C-alpha cells in the first residue's frame, strides 16, 4: 500500500500525539533558522559547532514533517523514519563534544569512539523495536543498546571528554557538564519510549503500558536537540564576551 507523504492531512483536536509531531517540526525548523543566522554572529572558532547545531535541528524538522504525515495516514509509529533521523543527528550531537574539547587536545580517536557508540546504540535499538518489538524478549535488545549509551555517559562524565573539558577552562567545563546532563537525563527519556512501545518492556514487564512511545520520543527530541544547540550557542557567546573584555 502506498501513502503520499506530501499530502497535508488535518489533525483532529484530540490527536495529541500527531500534534506533537507538528509542534516538533515547527520547533526544530525555528531552531534551525536561528542557528543558521547566528553563525555569522559567532566567533570563527565556534562557527562549525553552531552550524552543526542548525544541521541537527534541520534534519529533525524534515523528518518530523514526514513522520507526522506517516502517523496520520497509517496510525502507526514511524519507526523507520525515526531511526534514520537518529542515525544522522545523534552522531552529530556526539561530534559537538569533540569540537568543544578540540582546543584542549581532543584527538580524532575520541570522535570515532563517540560516533561508534552512538551508532551501536541506535542499530541495536532499531533491531529491538522494529524487528523484535512484538517479542517478549525485545528487552534484551534494549539492554544491549544501553551498553552504547552508558559508554557515552562514561566518556562525558568521567572519561576522556570530562578530562579534556576540565583542561579547556571553566566555560567549556560548565558547558560539557550541562550537555552531560542532557545525555544522562534527557537521553534517558528514550528508554521510556522503548519500554512503552515494545512487548518486552523492562526485563519482560511493560511498566509503561498505555503510554505512547511517539509522545515520549517527540518530547525527548525537542528537549535534547534544541537544548544541545542552545548550550553550544551560550558557550560561544560567553567566550565571545570574555574575549572582548
Residue range 176-196: mean pLDDT, rounded: 90
Look at residue 125 in the predicted model and tell me its pLDDT.
96
Look at residue 96 in the predicted model and tell me its pLDDT.
92
Mean pLDDT of the chain: 89
Map out the domains of the chain with their CATH numbers: 16-235 (1.20.1070.10)
> What would the pLDDT profile of 74-103 be if each residue is shown by its tens digit?
999 999 999 999 999 999 999 999 998 987
Cα torsion 195, 200, 203, 205 to 10°: value is: 80
Query: Chain centroid to CA 93: how far?
Result: 7
Cα–Cα dist 25/23, whole Å: 5
Residue range 17-25: mean pLDDT, rounded: 92
Place of cell 546532563: 181
How large is the C-alpha radius of gyration of the chain? 19
Label residue 9 by pLDDT band (50, 70, 90): low
> Model-level pTM?
0.90
Backbone φ, ψ for residue 39 (5° rounding): -55, -45
> What would the pLDDT profile of 200-216 be if each residue is shown by its tens digit?
888 888 787 778 899 99
Query: Chain centroid to CA 139: how far?
Result: 21
Give which of 105, 121, 196 is closest to 153, Cα–Cα: 121
Label residue 171 by pLDDT band (50, 70, 90): confident
Amino acid at each position: 500500500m502506498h501513502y503520499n507523504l506530501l499530502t497535508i492531512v488535518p489533525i483532529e483536536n484530540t490527536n495529541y500525539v500527531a500534534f506533537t509531531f507538528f509542534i516538533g517540526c515547527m520547533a526544530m525548523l525555528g531552531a534551525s533558522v536561528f542557528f543558521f543566522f547566528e553563525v555569522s554572529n559567532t566567533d570563527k572558532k565556534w562557527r562549525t559547532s553552531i552550524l552543526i547545531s542548525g544541521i541537527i535541528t534541520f534534519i529533525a524538522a524534515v523528518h518530523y514533517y514526514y513522520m507526522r504525515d506517516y502517523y496520520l495516514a497509517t496510525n502507526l509509529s514511524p519507526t523507520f523514519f525515526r531511526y534514520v533521523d537518529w542515525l544522522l543527528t545523534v552522531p552529530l550531537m556526539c561530534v559537538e563534544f569533540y569540537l568543544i574539547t578540540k582546543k584542549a587536545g581532543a584527538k580524532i580517536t575520541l570522535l570515532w569512539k563517540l560516533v561508534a557508540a552512538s551508532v551501536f546504540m541506535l542499530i541495536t535499538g532499531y533491531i529491538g523495536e522494529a524487528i523484535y518489538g512484538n517479542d517478549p524478549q525485545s528487552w534484551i535488545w534494549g539492554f544491549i543498546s544501553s551498553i552504547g549509551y552508558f559508554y557515552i555517559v562514561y566518556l562525558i562524565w568521567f572519561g576522556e571528554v570530562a578530562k579534556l573539558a576540565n583542561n579547556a577552562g571553566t566555560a567549556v567545563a560548565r558547558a560539557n557538564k550541562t550537555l552531560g546532563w542532557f545525555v544522562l537525563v534527557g537521553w534517558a527519556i528514550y528508554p521510556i519510549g522503548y519500554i512503552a512501545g515494545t512487548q518486552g518492556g523492562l526485563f519482560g514487564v511493560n511498566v509503561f503500558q498505555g503510554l505512547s512511545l511517539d509522545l515520549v520520543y517527540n518530547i525527548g527530541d525537542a528537549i535534547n536537540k534544541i537544548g544541545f544547540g542552545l548550550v553550544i550557542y551560550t558557550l560561544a557567546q560567553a567566550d565571545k564576551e570574555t574575549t572582548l573584555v
